[in-house]
């Protein structure tokens, strides 16, 4: 089992003064600019909260914003079907996993791309269940072969039925949301048990800049009423849906996400609301969304500091690449943004495994390579342990000048805990690498993925599976 929940926060792109100025600007936006609320029910909740409302523009006093933010829990636990996969979000504890709603799946070796299917989603869940450094399963693909009216329930069933890790995902219709909540209640044992130990959580996004959508606003209310954890990210893009500057982008992201947090607390004080960011940038040649830029890491690390300032758990975004195959670009883009975000202390880093091609595609090979990257990043988050044992003065004294430490008990004791042990990286001599077929990273990743998928995997207990299939309309078994 890979390390998770380690304390980050050593990397701080924002100074204390920077945080204060971003907060002050965000509060001025709430008071002087406002947020457009397109949900009638959401508007009614804000109307009862000391807000100034002009049409659909809601302006909130900073005191009201901070009072509502203060109602939200500072820590949220997301549960796995297996307790070893529970995630305790808050402070600067770091977890990383999958994400996206990709339309395609890519062969990471050949670059061949096709539409993703429901079976692909099941395979990815099974693969992720066996990858030790991927801490959670956020539904990563949209199955092209499932009718839209039943896609929400089938996506969540594919997750719950193929991994014991926590399952998070977005939904597209209010009816689909109700089916997903009912399915999760069956899997958990009851509605009360699902609230007590939530094995699923939902994602509902603001529309940058400064808007709560009508459908998503209604669904935020429904999820808050159910008391289920909800991630509330915003996706401002530098130069198009936010100012081009990173500070200006962070202001928009802060207001967008806090507005959603405020709504959840108006509906049901104490709702487990997760402050969130999917902030990134545009390719300024044609304004397309890009995911492999280093600025994504900077933006999300900055927002991690803002989340810590507001004492809210944080849903972050990092680890993607715009590459089309599992190559050097795929590795360095994914690693850089993930490392910045994790060292910044982001609690729940989604998109950290599998996504490429501007988040339009996933790759089985990339899940395996990202599993390796996450393991290395978590070792960096862990930092350098300094105590009498690790300083090893007595050992150094015993070995003396020109001595060695190869056979020391101290070496055997610490070698695996002190140094990350890769499961994919090639550390053979040249001749040994040649004798094993001269495989590159993508080929080795493909072999590991195929091996995992050929073996039996996790399934829900049969009685629960059959009850879900019987009670939830349109489940494809």
CATH number, domain of 336, equals 3.20.20.480
Residues 84-105, mean pLDDT to the nearest whole number: 97
Domain end, chosen from 336, 358, 382, is at 382
Q: What is the pLDDT of residues 162-194, one digit of tens each?
A: 999 999 999 999 999 999 999 999 999 999 999
Q: Do the beta carbons of residue 320 and residue 359 sit within 8 Å? A: yes
pLDDT tier for residue 40 given thresholds of 50, 70 and 90: very high
Q: What is the pLDDT of residues 326-348, one digit of tens each?
A: 999 999 999 999 999 999 999 99
**Residues 106 and 136 placed together within one structural domain of the fold:** yes
Helix (H) or strand (E) holding 314: strand 314-317
pLDDT tier for residue 202 given thresholds of 50, 70 and 90: very high
**Residues 187 and 74 placed together within one structural domain of the fold:** yes
C-alpha pair distances (Å), 357 with each of 44, 108, 300, 330: 41, 11, 20, 9
274 pLDDT more than 90: yes
Share of the chain above pLDDT 70, in %: 100
**Residues 314 and 403 placed together within one structural domain of the fold:** no
**Residues 265 and 414 placed together within one structural domain of the fold:** no
Predicted local confidence at residue 50, as pLDDT = 86
pLDDT tier for residue 432 given thresholds of 50, 70 and 90: very high
Residue 448 domain-assigned (yes or no): no
Which residues are registered as beta bridge partners of 317?
350
324 pLDDT more than 80: yes
**Residues 320 and 394 placed together within one structural domain of the fold:** no
Predicted local confidence at residue 116, as pLDDT = 98
Residue 445 domain-assigned (yes or no): no
For residues 342, 345, 348, 349, the Cα torsion angle rounded to the nearest 10 degrees is: -30
Residue 468 domain-assigned (yes or no): no
Helix (H) or strand (E) holding 254: helix 246-267
User: How far, in Å, CA of 276 to CA of 117, rounded?
Assistant: 28
Predicted local confidence at residue 357, as pLDDT = 96
Residues 28-52, mean pLDDT to the nearest whole number: 97
46 pLDDT more than 80: yes
Q: In this structure, is the dihedral angle defined by the CA atoms of residues 55, 60, 65 and 68, taken in order, positive or negative? A: negative
Instruction: Work out the mean pLDDT of the chain and round it to a whole number.
Output: 96
263 pLDDT more than 90: yes
Q: Do the beta carbons of residue 210 and residue 216 sit within 8 Å? A: no
User: How far, in Å, CA of 369 to CA of 90, rounded?
Assistant: 27
Name the burial class of residue 256, with classes exposed (0-12), middle (13-18) and buried (19+) by CB atoms within 10 angstroms of its CB.
buried
Q: Do the beta carbons of residue 423 and residue 372 sit within 8 Å? A: yes
**Residues 158 and 195 placed together within one structural domain of the fold:** yes
**Residues 375 and 395 placed together within one structural domain of the fold:** no
**Residues 135 and 10 placed together within one structural domain of the fold:** yes
**Residues 230 and 333 placed together within one structural domain of the fold:** yes
**Cis link prior to 174 (omega < 30° from 0)?**
no
Residue 135 domain-assigned (yes or no): yes
Domain end, chosen from 332, 365, 382, is at 382
Domain end, chosen from 382, 405, 434, is at 382
User: How far, in Å, CA of 81 to CA of 233, rounded?
Assistant: 25
44 pLDDT more than 90: yes
**Residues 232 and 146 placed together within one structural domain of the fold:** yes
Q: What is the pLDDT of residues 445-465, one digit of tens each?
A: 999 999 999 999 999 999 999
284 pLDDT more than 90: no
User: Secondary structure of 348-417 in the HEC alphabet?
Assistant: EEEEEECEECCCCEECHHHHHHHHHHHHHHHHHHHCCCCCHHHHCHHHHHHHCCCCCCCCCHHHHHHHHH
Residue 37 domain-assigned (yes or no): no
Q: How many CA atoms lie within 13 Å of 78's alpha carbon, on the beta-carbon side?
A: 29
111 pLDDT more than 90: no
Q: Give me the domain span that covers residue 225.
A: 6-15+70-382
Name the burial class of residue 17, with classes exposed (0-12), middle (13-18) and buried (19+) by CB atoms within 10 angstroms of its CB.
exposed
Residue 438 domain-assigned (yes or no): no
Residue 463 domain-assigned (yes or no): no
User: How far, in Å, CA of 72 to CA of 334, rounded?
Assistant: 32
1 pLDDT more than 80: no
State the distance between the two ends of the chain, measured CA to CA, in whole angstroms.
30
Q: How many domains does the chain have?
A: 2
Sort strands 200-203 and 137-138 into parallel, antiparallel or unpaired.
unpaired
229 pLDDT more than 70: yes
Residue 174 domain-assigned (yes or no): yes
What pTM does this model have? 0.96
**Residues 322 and 392 placed together within one structural domain of the fold:** no
**Residues 310 and 395 placed together within one structural domain of the fold:** no
């Amino acid at each position: 089992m890979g390390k998770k929940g380690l304390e980050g926060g050593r990397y701080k792109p924002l100074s204390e003064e920077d945080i204060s100025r971003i907060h002050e600007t965000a509060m001025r936006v709430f008071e002087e600019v406002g947020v457009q609320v397109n949900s009638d029910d959401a508007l009614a909740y804000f109307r009862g909260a000391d807000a100034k409302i002009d049409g659909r523009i809601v302006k909130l006093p900073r005191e009201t914003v901070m009072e509502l933010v203060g109602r939200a829990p500072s820590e949220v636990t997301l549960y796995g079907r297996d307790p070893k996969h529970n995630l305790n979000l808050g402070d600067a504890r770091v977890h990383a996993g999958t994400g996206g709603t990709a339309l395609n799946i890519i062969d990471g070796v050949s670059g061949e791309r096709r539409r993703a299917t429901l079976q692909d989603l099941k395979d990815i869940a099974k693969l992720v269940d066996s990858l030790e450094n991927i801490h959670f399963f956020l539904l990563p693909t949209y199955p092209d072969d499932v009718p839209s009216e039943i896609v929400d329930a089938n996506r969540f069933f594919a997750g719950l039925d193929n991994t014991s890790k926590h399952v998070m995902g977005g939904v597209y219709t209010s009816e689909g949301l109700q089916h997903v909540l009912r399915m999760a209640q069956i899997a958990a044992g009851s509605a009360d048990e699902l609230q007590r130990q939530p094995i699923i959580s939902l994602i509902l996004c603001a529309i940058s800049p400064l808007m709560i959508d009508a459908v998503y606003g209604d669904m935020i209310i429904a999820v808050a009423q159910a008391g289920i954890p909800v991630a509330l990210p915003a996706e401002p893009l530098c130069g198009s849906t936010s100012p081009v500057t990173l500070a200006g982008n962070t202001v928009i992201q802060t207001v967008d996400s806090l507005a959603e947090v405020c709504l959840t607390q108006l509906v049901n004080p104490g709702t487990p609301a997760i402050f969130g960011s999917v902030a990134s940038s545009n390719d300024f040649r044609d304004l397309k969304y890009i995911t492999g830029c280093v600025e994504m890491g900077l933006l999300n690390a900055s927002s991690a500091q803002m989340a810590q300032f507001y004492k809210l758990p944080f849903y972050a975004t990092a680890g993607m690449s715009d590459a089309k195959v599992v190559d050097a670009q795929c590795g360095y883009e994914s690693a850089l943004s993930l490392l910045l975000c994790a060292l910044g202390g982001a609690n729940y880093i989604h998109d950290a495994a599998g996504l490429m091609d501007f988040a339009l595609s996933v790759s089985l090979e990339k899940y395996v390579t990202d599993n390796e990257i996450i393991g290395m990043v978590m070792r960096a988050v862990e930092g350098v342990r300094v105590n009498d044992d690790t300083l090893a003065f007595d050992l150094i004294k015993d070995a003396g000048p020109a001595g060695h430490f190869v056979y020391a008990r101290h070496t055997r004791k610490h070698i695996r805990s002190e140094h990350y042990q890769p499961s994919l990286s090639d550390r053979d001599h040249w001749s040994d690498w040649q004798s094993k077929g001269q495989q590159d990273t993508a080929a080795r990743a493909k072999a590991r993925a195929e091996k995992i998928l050929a073996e039996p995997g996790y399934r829900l207990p049969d009685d629960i599976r059959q009850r879900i299939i019987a009670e939830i309309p349109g489940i494809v078994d």
